[in-house]
């Protein structure tokens, strides 16, 4: 693997602890002096230069996945405040995919179970459970699932702190196969393509007839893996070409899905597709939304 990116100094463990305490203060006590310092900390971290580098491989190795998981675990508070739970991101993601997902679920009758693998801090779970659904979430980061439990106290929710691939091997065969919907919004960006294909097939088994699956992939011209260094830390991602996405859709049809038309499959709020490896490119590739329902 060739990787010529010069890495920016990442925060020390002590710095991370201070940032996370300030961020928590900003969330809980925004009007206090400590809370205002927390908001400043978020702003400073957000303004740090983000570095994006495409790699010479299309597959993530075990160490890349471990580093990514550790970055989310260590900087969960910052990730939640800056990205997932910010008012701007809640509104943007609702418009990008969540409203259409809820619309496709149809009337709220009969089965109400929704599975959200890769649930993060619980943003989508909050919105969906507020619509009357029973939500079950999965995330490999304990910090993320702890946050979800805190945010959703008193709601009808089940939280799994586990690697989705481990659950697929050991638990999925024993799951009650009656989910009305499965929302894997951004989980697949950190999984290899073979894992994605396998999970999509197994998700079909977990859905009721006419049950809805929505997931998003990162779209690029090369289909290469890439890494990002920013305020969250060092993370690794997979990307897909349009040809690979079309091939995946065909596999889904063979499995028994009806692939649905999506109003805006390409997330418009993220930079448009760019040439992988082009000098000076610092934007991440956009999300491409796929929605399907179980037809048989």
User: Looking at the structure, do residues 175 and 272 belong to the same domain, yes or no?
Assistant: yes
3-17 pLDDT, tens digit each: 333 333 334 455 455
Give how many domains the chain has, as a whole number: 2
237-251 pLDDT, tens digit each: 999 999 999 999 999
Question: Whose CA is closest to 211, among 93, 125, 126, 291?
Answer: 291
DSSP H helices in the chain: 13-28, 33-46, 62-74, 76-79, 87-93, 99-105, 123-129, 142-151, 164-170, 193-206, 242-255
Is residue 48 scored above 60 in pLDDT? no
Is residue 2 scored above 80 in pLDDT? no
Between helix 142-151 and helix 62-74 the angle, nearest 10°, is 40
Q: Which residues pair with 260 in a beta bridge?
A: 291
User: Looking at the structure, do residues 37 and 174 belong to the same domain, yes or no?
Assistant: no
Cβ neighbours of residue 143 under 8 Å, at least 6 residues apart?
72, 73, 74, 76, 77
Is residue 57 scored above 50 in pLDDT? yes
User: Looking at the structure, do residues 274 and 139 belong to the same domain, yes or no?
Assistant: yes
Residue 234 lies in a domain: no
Share of the chain above pLDDT 90, in %: 33
Residue 103 lies in a domain: yes
Look up the domain containing 163 and give its range: 87-218+241-294
Cβ neighbours of residue 280 under 8 Å, at least 6 residues apart?
none
Residue 27 lies in a domain: yes
Residue 206 lies in a domain: yes
Residue 141 lies in a domain: yes
Residue 231 lies in a domain: no
User: Looking at the structure, do residues 19 and 121 belong to the same domain, yes or no?
Assistant: no
User: Looking at the structure, do residues 209 and 286 belong to the same domain, yes or no?
Assistant: yes
Residue 227 lies in a domain: no
- CATH of residue 101: 3.40.50.150
User: Looking at the structure, do residues 135 and 254 belong to the same domain, yes or no?
Assistant: yes
CA distance 36 to 86: 16
* Choice between 277 and 242, residue whose per-residue pLDDT is larger: 242
User: Looking at the structure, do residues 105 and 34 belong to the same domain, yes or no?
Assistant: no
User: Looking at the structure, do residues 252 and 126 belong to the same domain, yes or no?
Assistant: yes
222 and 241 Cβ atoms separated by less than 8 Å? yes
User: Looking at the structure, do residues 144 and 257 belong to the same domain, yes or no?
Assistant: yes
In the chain, helix, strand, coil percent, each to 5?
45, 20, 35
User: Looking at the structure, do residues 143 and 276 belong to the same domain, yes or no?
Assistant: yes
pLDDT of residue 182: 96
User: Looking at the structure, do residues 18 and 106 belong to the same domain, yes or no?
Assistant: no
103-148 pLDDT, tens digit each: 999 877 778 899 999 888 888 888 898 888 999 998 888 888 888 8
User: Looking at the structure, do residues 202 and 261 belong to the same domain, yes or no?
Assistant: yes
pLDDT of residue 27: 61
Helix (H, G, I), strand (E, B) or coil at 229: strand
Residue 129 lies in a domain: yes
Question: Whose CA is closest to 287, among 225, 231, 240, 233?
Answer: 240
What is the value of pTM for the model shown? 0.79
CA distance 152 to 85: 13
CA distance 126 to 294: 25
């Amino acid at each position: 693997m060739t990787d010529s990116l010069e890495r920016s100094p990442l925060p020390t463990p002590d710095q991370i602890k201070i940032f996370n305490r300030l961020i928590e203060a900003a969330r809980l006590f925004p009007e206090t002096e400590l809370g205002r310092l927390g908001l400043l900390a978020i702003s400073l971290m957000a303004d740090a230069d983000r570095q994006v580098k495409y790699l010479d491989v299309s597959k993530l190795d075990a160490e890349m996945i471990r580093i990514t998981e550790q970055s989310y675990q260590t900087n969960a508070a910052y990730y939640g405040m800056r990205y997932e739970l910010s008012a701007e991101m809640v509104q943007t993601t609702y418009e990008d995919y969540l409203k259409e997902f809820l619309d496709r679920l149809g009337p709220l009758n009969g089965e109400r179970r929704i599975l959200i693998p890769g649930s993060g801090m619980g943003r989508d779970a909050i919105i969906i459970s507020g619509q009357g659904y029973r939500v079950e979430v999965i995330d490999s980061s304990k910090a993320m699932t702890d946050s979800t439990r805190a945010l959703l106290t008193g709601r009808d929710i089940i939280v799994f702190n586990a690697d989705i691939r481990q659950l697929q091997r050991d638990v999925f065969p024993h799951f009650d196969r009656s989910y009305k919907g499965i929302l894997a919004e951004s989980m697949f960006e950190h999984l290899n393509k073979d894992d994605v294909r396998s999970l999509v097939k197994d998700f079909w088994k977990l859905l009721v007839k006419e049950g809805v699956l929505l997931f998003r992939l990162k779209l690029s011209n090369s289909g290469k893996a890439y890494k990002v260094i920013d305020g969250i830390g060092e993370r690794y991602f997979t990307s897909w070409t349009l040809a690979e996405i079309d091939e995946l859709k065909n596999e889904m049809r063979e499995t028994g899905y009806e692939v649905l038309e999506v109003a805006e499959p390409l997330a418009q709020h993220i930079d448009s597709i760019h040439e992988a490896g082009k000098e000076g490119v610092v934007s991440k590739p956009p999300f491409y939304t796929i929605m399907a329902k179980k037809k048989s």
